[in-house]
Amino acid sequence: AQSVTQLGSHVSVSEGALVLLRCNYSSSVPPYLFWYVQYPNQGLQLLLKYTSAATLVKGINGFEAEFKKSETSFHLTKPSAHMSDAAEYFCAVSGASAGNMLTFGGGTRLMVKP
Amino acid sequence: ETGVTQTPRHLVMGMTNKKSLKCEQHLGHNAMYWYKQSAKKPLELMFVYNFKEQTENNSVPSRFSPECPNSSHLFLHLHTLQPEDSALYLCASSQRLRRSDEQYFGPGTRLTVT
C-alpha cells in the first residue's frame, strides 16, 4: 500500500525567504510522485511530477522538488517566496496497482508574511 | 470552456433531497475521477472511470451513485445524504490510467447537507 506524510500542516515564511515543504512517502513499487497546489475556492493544480527520470524536478512558478530514494522523500522548495504562493500544497503518490489512483498527503498550508 | 468544469459550484440540500453534480472535461482525456475533500481529512478517491467503464469504487456508500455516459462527462447522483457528507467534491481527468499520467482537477462543488 502507498502512503504520504506531509510534515507540518501549516508553514509560515516571510516574503523573499526560502520555502521548504516536506513530503515523505511509502510505496511498494518505484513511485510516481506529484505536487499539487490549491488556491482558495479552486481545484488542484499540478506543480510538478516525478516519473523516474531526473531526480531534481522543476515545476511551474519557480518550484522544484528533489526525489531522494534513500530518504523516501520528495520535498518541495522555492528559493524566494511571493505573496501569491500562499495556498495549500498537496503531495501525492501514484498507486502500485494498474490504474492511476493517487494517495494524497494531508496537505500543508503555506502562509507568506509581508 | 477549457480544462475541467464542474456545476454547480455550490449546493445546499436536505437529507431527503436528490441532486446531481456534473463534471465535463474538454481535454480529450479517457479517464475521469471523483474525489471527496473534507475538512481535516486527506483527499479521498471515490470512483474511477476509464473509457466510460467504472474501474474503481473505493467503498463508497450507495447514496452516492456515479454515471459516466461518455469520456467527457461524469455525474455524481446524490440521495438521502447525511450531514457528514458535506464536503468539496472534486472531479478530475487524465489522459489514460497510467501511473505517470497527471490528473487535471475541476474547481469543485461545495456541498452542504442540512
Written as tens digits, the pLDDT of chain B (114 aa) is 679 999 999 999 998 889 999 999 999 999 999 999 998 788 999 999 988 888 888 889 999 999 999 999 999 999 999 999 999 999 999 998 888 889 999 999 999 999
Nearest to B105 among A44, A103, A107 (CB): A44
Contact A100 B43 (CB under 8 A): no
- Here the contacts of A58-64 (C-beta below 8 Å, separation 24 or greater) are A59/A35, A61/A37, A61/A85, A63/A19, A63/A35
What was the pLDDT predicted at A99? 64
What was the pLDDT predicted at A109? 96
Residue A90 and residue A106: Cα distance in Å, rounded? Answer: 7
Contact B34, B47 (CB under 8 A): yes
**Mean pLDDT over residues A31-44, rounded?**
92
- Beta carbons within 8 Å of A53's beta carbon, 6+ residues apart: none
What was the pLDDT predicted at A96? 65
Grade residue A97 by pLDDT with cuts at 50, 70 and 90: low
Interface test with A, best of B7, B21, B40, B43 (most A CBs within 10 A): B43
A95 three-class SS: coil
B59 three-class SS: coil
Which residue, among B106, B100, B39, has the nearest Cα to B76 in the 3D structure?
B106
Contact A40, A54 (CB under 8 A): no
Residue B4 and residue B47: Cα distance in Å, rounded? Answer: 16
Residues of B in Cβ contact (< 8 Å) with A94? 99-100
Q: Which of A4-8, A58-62, B28-32, B50-54 has the lowest mean pLDDT?
A: B50-54
Contact A104 B94 (CB under 8 A): no
Nearest to A104 among B31, B42, B101 (CB): B42
A98 versus B28: which is more confidently predicted?
B28
The dihedrals phi and psi of A83, each to the nearest 5 degrees, come to -55, -35
Q: Which three cell numbers stand for residue A94?
A: 501514484
B103 near A CB under 8 A: yes
Residues of A in Cβ contact (< 8 Å) with B107? 41-43
Instruction: Tell me the nearest-neighbour CA distance from A99 into chain B, angstroms.
Output: 5
Contact A100 B55 (CB under 8 A): no
Residues of A in Cβ contact (< 8 Å) with B92? 43-44
**Mean pLDDT over residues A37-54, rounded?**
91
Residue A96 and residue A25: Cα distance in Å, rounded? Answer: 13
Residues 25..84 of B with a Cβ closer than 8 Å to A: which?
A: 31, 41-43, 45, 48, 50, 55-56
**Mean pLDDT over residues A25-45, rounded?**
91
The residues with which A56 forms a beta bridge, in sequence order, are A66
